[in-house]
Amino acid sequence: MDPIESRRAIRRNLVLKGTFKIRDDLKYKLHIYREPVDLSLSDVAMLGCGFITGYYLPKGIVLSVKLKDFPVISADAQGAKDMDFTAKVMSCKNAPGRTNKIGIEFVDIRKEYLDLIKKFIESGA
């Protein structure tokens, strides 16, 4: 079975910039000397999202994530909103250009942000 089809939630591609900080004591073992670390969001789902970064992050590590300008889709108008949430690393795979594709699952996220994500996914944008 195709791994994309076996995911627990539908994902939509989305390119956004953001940052993350490691919330565990492991950050000193990972040689991350300066935080926050830049990330490039690549996709989003109701359960989590994926992003690209230059760091390898082991499964299970907890992150504080901030995203810039998440699209707000409503009947009234379109705009953007910054989001912040806590997430756990579920996967880390090597990507081209000495980067890593990180899959994270939401641990603590505001209902308002989940509603924005749901509207974005349903819009097919």
The CATH number for 72's domain is 2.40.10.220
pLDDT digits (tens, 9 = 90+) for 100-109: 999 999 999 9
Model confidence at 4, pLDDT cuts 50, 70, 90, reads: very low
Report how far apart, in Å, the C-alpha atoms of 34 and of each of 11, 44, 58, 74 are: 31, 26, 18, 37
Cα separation, 118 vs 1, in Å, equals 26
Q: Does residue 51 belong to any structural domain of this protein?
A: yes
Asked, as a colleague might, if the bond just before 3 is cis with ω within 30 of 0, I would say no
- Residue 4 domain-assigned (yes or no): no
Stated pTM of the model: 0.84
Q: Is residue 5 part of a domain?
A: no
Buried (b) or exposed (e) across 79-101, using 16+ Cβ within 10 A? eeeebebebbbeebeeeeeeebb
Cα–Cα nearest to 121, from 45, 67, 66, 60? 45
Whether residue 17 has pLDDT greater than 50: yes
Residue 114: the pLDDT is 94
Given a cut of 90, whether residue 95 has pLDDT beyond it is no
- Mean per-residue pLDDT for 68-94? 88
**Contact assessment for residue 43 and residue 50, using Cβ atoms and an 8 Å cutoff:** yes
In a domain, 40, yes or no: yes
34-79 residue pLDDT tens: 889 999 999 999 999 999 999 899 999 999 999 999 998 776 667 8
For residue 74, give its domain range. 12-120
Please check whether residue 6 lies inside any domain of the structure.
no
* pLDDT above 70 as % of the chain: 87
What is the percent of the chain with per-residue pLDDT over 90, rounded to a whole number?
54
Residue whose C-alpha is closest to residue 70's, from 62, 60, 78: 78
Whether residue 7 is contained in a domain is answered as no
* Count of domains forming the chain: 1
Per-residue pLDDT at 33 exceeds 80:
no
